[in-house]
Amino acid sequence: MFDVKKIYEARERIKDVVVDTPFSYAPHLSKSSGCEVYLKKENLQVTGAFKIRGAYNKIATLEGAQKECGVIAASAGNHAQGVALSASMFGIKAVIVMPESTPLTKINGVKNYGAEVILHGINYDEAYAYALEHGKKNSLTFIHPFEDEEVIAGQGTLALDILDKCQDLDAVVIPVGGGGLISGMAAAIKSVNPNIEVIGVSAKGAPALKNSYELKTAVDSLSVRTIADGIAVRDTSPITLGYMLQSVDRFISVDDEEIASAILFLLEKQKLVVEGAGAVGVAALLHGKLEHLRGKKVALVLSGGNMDVTLLSVIIEKGLLKSGRKMKLTVTLVDKPGSLMRFTQILQELNANIVHIAYDRTSISLDYGDANVTVHVETKGEEHQSMIYKVLKEENYIRD
């Protein structure tokens, strides 16, 4: 079992650095899931994620010579910012290796904390390998995002914060990538109340740790692909797997569609911006993956809120289309004065608000004298969209 004493020591070290983020009842989520749901909002933490806990605790425990030489880490975002900020607080050098595809906002976030950023590799694993090599050459101490006892201890303090506010929970649902967060939290939870069920949730596009948990032996995956980049870990850590096999009761996964719907739900219903990795627990609850928790008291960890704005805009757009609040239509008109006016007039009469329109008369699929018109319209649900289709068919704008 993980040494719980380390978690309490970590809590003392980081108490003046981390924010005691809100732990509050979620009425909309409780109603939709049939559970009594509480959200631990680590998306409101310093740097926007829980990672500052483990990063600061690790750097605080380094020896003098290690601090003097500086630290290095590999990360696509949250761990990078945690290490960068922690290093700046100790006045030591920090180098962060990030994949070349890392969004500019995350790169700038790390630079703003005073760290040097090196872009290398097409994914985290290539960045990680380079960071180890670069750190060794330059005498920098490598700060691992999850395979380190002091990092795990720091992450485990999150469970103590939850249990300070509520010990009579039936379950705690925790996002899982490399396993550092759930390893620390599960150890702390079981030490206080062994009856609390600890549930891990991963992304289906990053299956290595879940497969390993089920097989009870470490296996890696060939690749990862998920919008939850904060938990997109390809290889399994035998260390965190060992801790999880001792303390984690259940391990499930959710796909990108489920994660996207959870992000949108949190944005609309809870007024919270939560990244994909932080929303997986909500995704599991919303999509019936935790039916055994109905009627029970459940805590969900929203592990981070550093959402790429470009991805968020795509999620919102797709969410509007799926929920019947937006639709795209392409119709063929006779390319003559008045044709477009009549089409838009019909949409106006149907209370469908046009937000985008495109006119194409050059497509090779068109007959001469015709034009394709594509419109994006705001609608009021599936019934409203059915009415629009019906009327446009009657007016011969849409053909079977």
User: Catalytic one among 40, 41, 51, 326?
Assistant: 51
* CB burial string 150-181: b at 16+ within 10 A, e below: bbbbbbbbbbbbbbeeeeebbbbbbbbbbbbb
Residues 6+ apart with CB under 8 A from 115: 80, 83, 84, 87, 88, 94, 95, 96
Q: What's the number of CA atoms in the CB half-sphere (13 Å) around residue 55?
A: 30
pLDDT tens, position by position, for the chain (400 residues)? 899 999 999 999 999 999 999 999 999 999 999 999 999 999 999 999 999 999 999 999 999 999 999 999 998 789 999 999 999 999 999 999 998 888 787 888 899 999 999 999 887 778 899 999 999 999 999 999 999 999 999 999 999 999 999 989 999 999 999 999 999 999 999 999 999 999 999 999 999 999 999 999 999 998 889 999 889 888 899 999 999 999 999 999 999 999 999 999 999 999 999 999 999 999 999 999 999 999 999 999 999 999 888 899 999 999 999 889 999 999 988 888 888 998 999 999 999 999 999 999 888 888 898 899 999 999 999 999 999 999 999 988 887 6
Q: Is 51 a catalytic residue?
A: yes
Tokens of 151: 């990092």
Domains of the chain: 4-50+148-317 (3.40.50.1100), 53-142 (3.40.50.1100), 324-394 (3.30.70.260)
Element (H, E) at 327: strand 326-334
Q: Report how far residue 155's alpha carbon sits from residue 45's, in angstroms, rounded to the nearest whole number.
A: 12
Q: List the beta bridge partners of residue 94.
A: 71
| Residues ≥6 apart with Cβ < 8 Å to 202 | 175, 176, 177, 209, 210, 231, 251, 252, 253, 254, 280
Considering the candidates 86, 202, 253, 303, report the single residue annotated as catalytic: 303
Please report where in the chains the tokens 């509007």 appear, as a residue. 320
For this structure, is 303 an active site residue? Answer: yes
Only one residue has tokens 């550093």, namely 306
Helix (H, G, I), strand (E, B) or coil at 158: helix
* pTM as predicted: 0.90
Question: At which residue do the structure tokens 């790429």 appear?
Answer: 308
Torsion, Cα of 100, 136, 72, 177 (10° steps): 70
181, 199 in Cβ contact below 8 A?
A: no
